Amino acid sequence: LAKTTQPISMDSYEGQEVNITCSHNNIATNDYITWYQQFPSQGPRFIIQGYKTKVTNEVASLFIPADRKSSTLSLPRVSLSDTAVYYCLVGAQVRMDSSYKLIFGSGTRLLVRP
């Protein structure tokens, strides 16, 4: 599984757009990029997943450049409730019943201030 590098922490203010970048230089051809959010004492929650270019859902956008060696999670107009740890993961499942485990790095601690 590709190793990922993210900033340890970020600060923002309510209403701002937050962009968290993740580096994954060794991403493989069949790897997808997935972001999870975790609040204290809760299980990680899936935010968004993408393979290339741009993906957008009701929560966030994910930008992936052509070389796929990095990705940026964009959270529009953050609120206090977006304060959490955000994890970037890359990996792929080889077969339908293949083993697939998520390797969580340290993540990025986002603090949203009023």
Site residues for other proteins per CB under 8 A: 31-32, 34, 41-46, 49, 87, 91-93, 96-107
Task: For the CB of residue 91, give the shortest distance to other proteins in the complex, in Å.
Answer: 6
Q: State the Cα–Cα distance between residues 55 and 20, nearest whole angstrom.
A: 15
Nearer to other proteins, 40 or 114 (CB): 40
C-alpha distances (whole Å) from 60 to each of 21, 22, 30, 36, 46 are 13, 15, 23, 11, 11
The smaller minimum CB distance to other proteins, of residues 81 and 99, is found at 99
Least distance CB 14 / other proteins (angstroms): 26
Minimum gap (Å) between residue 79 Cβ and other proteins: 21
Beta strands 9-13 and 108-113, pairing class: parallel
Cβ distance to other proteins smaller for residue 78 or 89: 89
Assign 80 to helix, strand or coil: helix
Report which of 62, 90, 83 is spatially closest to residue 10, judged by C-alpha positions.
83
As measured in angstroms, the least distance from the Cβ of 88 to other proteins is 13
